[in-house]
Amino acid sequence: MTGDALMQVQLRLPTRTLFSGPARHVFAVALDGAFGLLPRHADHVASLQPSVLIVTDGEGVERFFGIDHGLLVKHGAQVDVVVRRGVAGDSLERLSETVDASFMAVDEHEREARTALSRLEVGIVRQLGQLRKPGS
């Protein structure tokens, strides 16, 4: 396949790039259903839902990514995908295990952060309440 018949795909997380390279085909799941993109397809924008993103690279190898909510933008031969969370997997079977482990760990960290923030807010409210009492 010639270079002009490939798309350049970037899969980005908030902190790093998960995948960057040429692709023959991209399969994704949007809020309104699953779809595939080829290099000469029309430009496209889609809101992605948590699912498996499949990128067939320039060598014809399928790469699997478990993704969270995100956005896909195809403009010409460039496809940019930005997601909140994502993990790569060698196969669909292993990807499921990787997604479960990675996303559960992140959810636990987020729960701990929310708990700490709630405690901080309660402390601030108490301190403000002490400042408002007459005679204090």
In this structure, what CATH number is given to the domain that contains residue 54? 2.60.15.10
Residue 55 lies in a domain: yes
Contact in structure between 74 and 6 (CB atoms under 8 Å): no
pLDDT in tens, 50-59: 888 999 999 9
Residue 71 lies in a domain: yes
Residue 34 lies in a domain: yes
Integer Cα distance of 72 and 82 in angstroms: 7
Range of the domain at 36: 3-89
Residue 52 lies in a domain: yes
Q: What is the domain count for the chain?
A: 1
Q: Residue 106: its pLDDT value, please?
A: 60
Q: What is the pTM of this model?
A: 0.69
